[in-house]
Amino acid sequence: MFMETSAIDKEMYDYFMHLNEAEKKSVVQMIKTFLQSRKEFERISIERYNKEIEEAEAEAEVERGESYSHAEVVKMSKQWTHGK
């Protein structure tokens, strides 16, 4: 199951195996929290940053009612192709 494990990995495993189920769940949740907080502070690419900005702006436009329904788009496209 384990590939080459460090001493700290083995020590953590040994301690973990002595916990009861409730304690194990608590430790797993704590580890998830550590990893999630680390993930929140990871650097992202400029492309990802720009995409997140565009998505937020698009959501804001929809919330302000600055969007068209499917029916409105169909009607507009008919006007483009068939004249007014």
Domain ranges across the chain: 7-40, 46-82
Residue 29 has a pLDDT of 93
Q: Are 25 and 33 in contact (CB under 8 A)?
A: no
Q: Are 30 and 38 in contact (CB under 8 A)?
A: no
Question: By C-alpha distance, which of 20, 22, 2 is closest to 11?
Answer: 2
The pTM (predicted TM-score) of the whole model is: 0.42
pLDDT in tens, the chain (84 residues): 456 789 999 999 999 999 999 999 999 999 998 888 777 667 778 888 889 899 999 888 888 888 888 999 999 999 998 865
